[in-house]
Amino acid sequence: MLRRPEEFGDNWSDVLEHGELDKLAGYFRSKERVRDYLSFINFRVGGRDNFVSLDGKKGRGITFEVPRNSLMTAIDYEIFDDLLIGNFMKTTLHKMGSLYDGDFAFAVTKFGDNGRVKTHREVDAYLREYRRRAGADWYYHRLYENVVDRVRSTAIAYLPRESPTWRAAYHVYRLLIASPHQIAGFCERAAQRAPARLQPLRRTLGLRQRKPARTHVAMNALKAARSHFRNFQERTREPGLTALLMIEVSLIFIAMPLAGMGAIPELVVPIMFVLLVIAILVVTSRSHFAAALVVIAVVLSPFGAFVRAEHPSLFTDCFSAAGRLLALGALSWVIARAVFGAGRVTVHRVQGAVVLYLNFALFFFVIYRLVETLIPNCFSGLPQAGAEHGSGAALLYFSFSTLTTAGFGDITPLNPLARNLANLESVIGQLFPATLLARLVSLELEHRRQAKSGRAD
């Protein structure tokens, strides 16, 4: 049975009365997460637009077309969630993907109306208490939302349905949400279809063995696998260096600036970091020590970033930065040995030198971000917090301008530690090209001398 809106006091032709727009503005501006993320909220009431101006990114906002009586009743009783879930409004998003972007729905309904917490400090305290009561379930659901759900949404948005890539992503998604019993069953079926060299896995899973495994067969398989791995290292070393250079240049000069502007999805930069880590592992795989450091860094950095997002503190900031510095340091050490080592000057040696130069800027960029976290306001001219969507593009720009000694002066270090780090980076930026050029020239001259003496003999 359908009933007319007038029976509930709603008339779509009613406009806002005097003072009601101020009440709407006060309601939404009190939610600091909403105020800092959106630039406006427009309420189209009675055919008229009523804008509430906020402090977020220009152009990002929401338009709600809603009858006056239901709107003001929801505001008076702080039950705005009833309007959202009851489909009483026509909603238009501007530069947003959903009402969950920027935690709008949570900040207004769950935190503000239900939890009565509105400021950043109150929300943080609210979530800490929620985590304390939820225990391990909190981290499981956060992991599910941040990882598993993103795999699903990315596959749906960007992959053709029923394509081979889509089916592979679907199986990964099913595996991620599977129970331990399902995972064990998957491993058992995979082991049943495996060749004889996987007999130890079959015995571990308690499966029936068709033929007894022999020691010499296992040793031969191990030697063959090691030989294949070494061949793989040889084949991928130089292409991996090229890929590393391309990924690093794209990340520094394209992805991070666009992320700072909010022009690309938030998932792009993490994906490029994953590709960068894979390329680093390929390049450093010949050095067991460097590869071990990179693996440790791969574990430390994401874990530190995840813990920092849940429990921001001095320890988690240092923990996350240590992982990034360790990976960059291991990569730079391996590349420096190849660039400055003996041998002929090749294109790949020059590519390694470029990667090493970019690594200096990234290394100091990570240190600058850590110093800015430990010592607030140690740099002048940085954008306001949240203006760059967490990308840190301004400090990356400062690191490159310092390394190249461009020094435009729009961002300046104020703290003695920050100034000394900037001095050290500028000195490295001057000495590295000169040292590199001298080394490459000497290597080329030595190669020509040896070639000439060989022809004379």
Whole-angstrom distance, CA of residue 56 vs CA of residue 389: 11
What's the number of domains the chain is made of? 2
DSSP category for residue 129? H
Which of 39-43, 261-265, 281-285 has the least mean pLDDT? 281-285
Q: What are phi and psi of 233, to 5 degrees?
A: -60, -45
Boundary of a domain, candidates 115, 133, 151: 133
Is 450 a domain residue?
yes
Is 16 a domain residue?
yes
Residues 99 and 241 in one domain: no
Mean pLDDT across 65-73? 91
Is 414 a domain residue?
yes
Q: Write down the pTM of the prediction.
A: 0.50
Whole-angstrom distance, CA of residue 186 vs CA of residue 75: 52
Mean pLDDT across 275-283? 73
pLDDT confidence of residue 180:
44
Is 181 a domain residue?
no
Whole-angstrom distance, CA of residue 192 vs CA of residue 210: 10
Is 177 a domain residue?
no
Residues 127 and 265 in one domain: no
Is 227 a domain residue?
no
Mean pLDDT across 434-444? 85
Is 215 a domain residue?
no
Is 251 a domain residue?
yes
Residue 236 to residues 233, 350, 375, Cα–Cα distance (Å): 5, 17, 42
Whole-angstrom distance, CA of residue 210 vs CA of residue 328: 48
Tens of pLDDT, residue by residue over 129-176, are 877 777 666 666 666 566 555 556 666 666 676 777 667 666 665 655
Residues 434 and 298 in one domain: yes
pLDDT confidence of residue 181:
44
Q: Domain range for residue 55? A: 8-133
Residues 317 and 449 in one domain: yes
Boundary of a domain, candidates 133, 159, 187: 133
Boundary of a domain, candidates 133, 154, 178: 133
Residues 129 and 260 in one domain: no
Residues 306 and 437 in one domain: yes
Tens of pLDDT, residue by residue over 169-199, are 666 656 555 544 455 555 555 555 545 545 5
Task: Classify burial at 388, counting beta carbons within 10 Å of its beta carbon; exposed 0-12, middle 13-18, buried 19 or more.
Answer: buried
